[in-house]
Amino acid sequence: MLVLDRVGKTYPNGVHALQRFTAKIPQGEIVAIIGGSGCGKSTLLRAVAGLDRASTGTIVLDDIHIAAPHAKIGIIFQEPRLLPWLSVADNIGFGLSDLPADIRRDKVAAALARVGLTEKAKAWPRELSGGQAQRVAIARALVPQPEVLLLDEPFSALDAFTRRDLQDHLLDLWADTRPTLVLVTHDVDEAVVLADRVLVMRPRPGRLFAEIQVNLARPRDRASPLFDAVKRRVMTALDRSLDRNAPDDASESAAGEAMWW
Amino acid sequence: MAMTLDTPALDGSDAIDTPATPGRWRHVARPALGVLLPLAVALVWEFVVGSGWSNGRLVPPPSRIFTTIMELARSGELSRHIAATLSRVGAGFGLGVVAGTLLGAISGYWGLARRLLDPTVQALRAIPSIAWVPLFILWLGIFETSKIALIAVGVFFPVYLGVMGAILSVDRKIVEVGRTFRLSGPAMIRRILLPAVLPAYVVSLRVGLGLGWMFVVAAEFMGASEGLGYLLIDGQQLGKPAQILAAITIFAILGKTTDWLIELVSAPLLRWQDAFRPGGDH
């Protein structure tokens, strides 16, 4: 269980990026955090990753207080951030340096096969396409078997086709060990395809606005009317979150209201 | 040279018939193209002097320079001069690299040291290094120490700047990857910072070595009894232009060779970065 309790962040320059964000995320749940720019979603993710300290509130994972990067928490960034001087295989094994070499080799080989890049094991990162590089990044984050995997707009730099491919692929990989996924995105489609629950945030200061359950069986059909209905609810909430006059509404927003288009 | 010039790449019909292969010949033919001009000038001058149109007293033809080198080599003098110069460059380069790397790394890694140290280093850098010569002679005497010190000063600055700049420009995003995997300080340096700064470091070493060769000449001008720089001065004072050109030729060969050695040693470490294309289309 990942518990975020009234997490807030004020930067030294006075920018109030995040205010009293509270959420409980059970082990194995997939949560998407969506919101307009400046709503503090990346700030929140970096705090959970332990890369930045929250100014107020606490982040607790299974009784562990998170204030610095932790072995149980992995993160995937918008860019693959592969180390250009390491081969694909060595990049994937980067977080396994404590293990004996033969165990590391086996784990890396298994991960390479799992992301379908076995024949690229010895390639340099510069020789990969954007989608392949991001798959290596996913493998690198998953191979130490984190309990929580954070994803900061992981597919936003990819073309639409590759993005869909990787979304499906991520779900496949998630099913192996079922870590908790916390996904920050600005893509409604992506949020609804992947998440059990969508948290909509609103900007200035960043805070939770609405919470939408996605009770659709996987694999999800992007063309189904049910899928579309959930997407509309998320879009409506997103739209209202940008309206300065709308009241904060952290409860589940009513379905089908205010068809603004 | 004859070998490269005889390659089929220069055979027009062959190259047109097989459009897939020219790339392979081009990386042989292109350097050969660059050699063409100096080679032509040398041959023409050789011919002009050989046929008596000029006596070649001030500008000796290539054959006379070559003979001079061979004479120097036979008498054992050449190896003595080369050894003297090489050991000065080696010692000065070594000292300059060690000092530049240490101080550059400290300045790059540690903000307080940078604010304390860097302004002074930058101010010293603004002084033309040759200006130190009189002081070094007063302090260190006219023998080896002052020469090595001058070379070391010349090597120090590019290495210092290269290391500091490289550390400061390491991508924060890559460092963050190290942080998410909880690398300790030393592990962060070994696994992230060192490989990240290596390309810029190699460049700074090569620049430093170039300056080392430059300053060894200056150092040997200020009163040396052996070394290639001494050969230059000796050639000027005794009116032996062939000896001057012989020394210059050897400087060129040594400079190019040592630079190539750095490239050779560092190449396996930088393979990840080198955009090598087997087709060789650039």
Nearest CA-CA partner of B182 in A66, A132, A137, A125 = A66
C-alpha A138/C-alpha A183 separation (Å) is 13
Q: Is residue B281 part of a domain?
A: no
For residues B235-244, one letter each, b for 16 or more C-beta atoms within 10 angstroms of the residue's C-beta and e for the rest, the string is beeeeebbbb
Q: Would you call A75 an interface residue with chain B, using a CB distance cutoff of 8 Å?
A: yes
Question: What is the number of domains present in chain B?
Answer: 2
Q: Would you call A150 an interface residue with chain B, using a CB distance cutoff of 8 Å?
A: no
Q: Is residue B17 part of a domain?
A: yes
Confidence of residue B16 (pLDDT cuts 50, 70, 90): very low
Q: Would you call A99 an interface residue with chain B, using a CB distance cutoff of 8 Å?
A: no
Q: Are residues B83 and B207 in the same domain?
A: yes
Q: pLDDT tens, B187-226?
A: 888 899 999 999 999 999 999 999 999 999 999 888 788 8
Q: Are residues B239 and B114 in the same domain?
A: yes
What is the pLDDT, as a whole number, of residue A64? 86
Q: Are residues B72 and B195 in the same domain?
A: yes
Q: Would you report the helix, strand and coil content of chain A in percent, each value rounded to 5? A: 35, 25, 40
Domain holding B172, by residue range, is 65-270
Q: Are residues B35 and B69 in the same domain?
A: no
Q: Are residues B110 and B178 in the same domain?
A: yes
Domain termination site, one of B13, B34, B55: B55
Q: Is residue B9 part of a domain?
A: yes
Chain B nearest-CA distance from A86, in A, is 7
What is the pLDDT, as a whole number, of residue B274? 63
Confidence of residue B14 (pLDDT cuts 50, 70, 90): very low
Instruction: Tell me how many residue pairs between chain A and chain B have CB atoms under 8 A apart.
Output: 44
Q: Is residue B277 part of a domain?
A: no
Residues in chain A: 261
Q: Which residues, other chains included, contact B81 with Cβ-Cβ below 8 Å and sequence gap of 6+?
A: B72, B226, B227, B228, B230, B231, B247
Domain positions in chain A are 12-182+191-209+232-241
Q: Are residues B48 and B75 in the same domain?
A: no
Residue B7 has pLDDT above 60, yes or no: no
**Residues of chain A scoring pLDDT < 50:** 250-261
Confidence of residue B17 (pLDDT cuts 50, 70, 90): very low
Query: CB–CB of B176 and A51 under 8 A?
Result: yes
What is the pLDDT, as a whole number, of residue B271? 82
Q: Are residues B47 and B121 in the same domain?
A: no
Q: What angle do CA B273, B279, B281 make, to 5 degrees?
A: 85
Q: Is the pTM of this model over 0.80?
A: no
Task: Express as a percent the part of chain B with pLDDT over 70.
Answer: 87
Query: CB–CB of A77 and B174 under 8 A?
Result: no
Q: Are residues B146 and B20 in the same domain?
A: no
The answer to whether ipTM exceeds 0.90 is no
Question: What's the CATH number where B126 sits?
Answer: 1.10.3720.10
Q: Are residues B45 and B76 in the same domain?
A: no
Interface of B with A in 188-207 (CB under 8 A): 191-192, 195-196, 198
Q: Are residues B136 and B221 in the same domain?
A: yes
Residue B5 has pLDDT above 50, yes or no: no
- Homologous superfamily in CATH for domain A12-182+191-209+232-241: P-loop containing nucleotide triphosphate hydrolases (3.40.50.300)
Task: Give contacts of A138 with chain B, Cβ < 8 Å.
Answer: none
